Amino acid sequence: MPYFGLGVYLSEDGKEVTNAVKWALQDGYRHIDTASIYGNEEGVGVGIRESGVERKDIFVVSKVWNSDQGYESTIKAYESSLKRLNLDYLDLFLVHWPVKGKYKETWRAMEYLYKHKGVRAIGVSNFMQHHLEDLLTSAEIVPMVNQMEFHPYLVQQDLIDFCNKNAIQYEAWSPLMQGHIFELDIMKGLAAKYNKTIAQIVLRWDLQKGVVTIPKSAKKDRIRANADIFDFELAPEDVKKLENLDRGKRFGPDPDNFDF
């Protein structure tokens, strides 16, 4: 699983998302993250095919939405995602949210897909520690990934430690705090210190925390700039400075109190 990829949440299906995926892959990205609820899987598939990059070299991720959760419906949702993407398999399929009373049956279907339908890896998204602990009481396969809201205002180190202990790869969504990261003076200072953009600073921080990150952009120059994070390293004290910004603040929904 590449540690850095392109997220396509809110990218419009058609030309916008197709171009974003194509530009990213042509600029060296090898990890594309979408979901059925994003409504842009078809455009993502077109971008993959038009990029000129071989399918086997691209790590493609999608997710089963809440209304599709359950055993049979999850299997059908997977087949539908493949059809829209026009692909033969997914590299990673995630349970999008922990729907109460359903996520265990959904996970049983994910295990079936992993064993029988060519999914290379299965995981979850937005699962807190208690969700994971509950799932692990009946799971045959430990989730391989947990994709969570993660940024300097929401570190959730205890959850990261739990995932690391159980060999669950932690992954960030909304790493730029839905744009609020650009308002922080400390980020402006670090950007000047390292001669990098604010986005590059926080995305580099993700990697140094061992967290996979998938920033979203539909702009060619920003897609390219976001990936320019492999030629520098944050000093340990600067990594700590960003950790110390943690205030348990979410910009997205709370996994324990959501209604989709």
Reported confidence tier of residue 118, pLDDT bands at 50, 70, 90: confident
What gap in Å lies between CA 50 and CA 185, rounded to an integer? 41
Average per-residue pLDDT for the chain: 97
Would you say 180 and 251 are in contact if contact means Cβ atoms under 8 Å apart? yes
Indicate the pLDDT class of residue 178, thresholds 50, 70 and 90: very high
Q: Is the pLDDT of residue 136 over 80?
A: yes
pTM greater than 0.85 (yes/no) = yes
How many of the other CB atoms lie within 10 Å of CB of 41? 25
Q: In this structure, what are the phi and psi dihedrals at residue 6, rounded to the nearest 5 degrees?
A: -110, 125
Q: In what order do the strands lie in the sheet with 169-173?
A: 6-7, 31-33, 59-64, 92-95, 122-125, 145-149, 169-173, 212-213
What per-residue confidence (pLDDT) applies to 260? 67
Local confidence band at 105 (pLDDT 50, 70, 90 cut-offs): very high
Largest Cα–Cα separation, the chain: 53
Q: Is 9 an annotated catalytic residue? A: no
C-alpha count within 13 angstroms, C-beta hemisphere, residue 76 = 7
Q: Which of 99, 122, 134 is nearest to 168 (CA)?
A: 122
Q: Which amino acid is at 60?
A: V
Asked if pLDDT for residue 189 goes beyond 90, the answer is: yes
Residues 197, 226: Cα–Cα separation, whole Å: 9
pLDDT in tens, 16-38: 999 999 999 999 999 999 999 99
Residue 73 phi, psi dihedral angles, 5° rounding:
-70, -30
pLDDT tens sequence across 190-213 = 999 999 999 999 999 999 999 999
Residues of the chain with pLDDT > 70, as a percent, come to 100
Q: Give the position of tokens 């699962």.
A: 127
- Where helices occur in the chain by DSSP H, the ranges are 15-26, 41-50, 71-85, 103-116, 129-136, 157-165, 185-194, 198-208, 220-226, 236-243
Task: Find the catalytic residue in 9, 29, 38, 153.
Answer: 38
For 208, residues 6+ apart whose C-beta sits below 8 A from its C-beta are 233, 234, 239
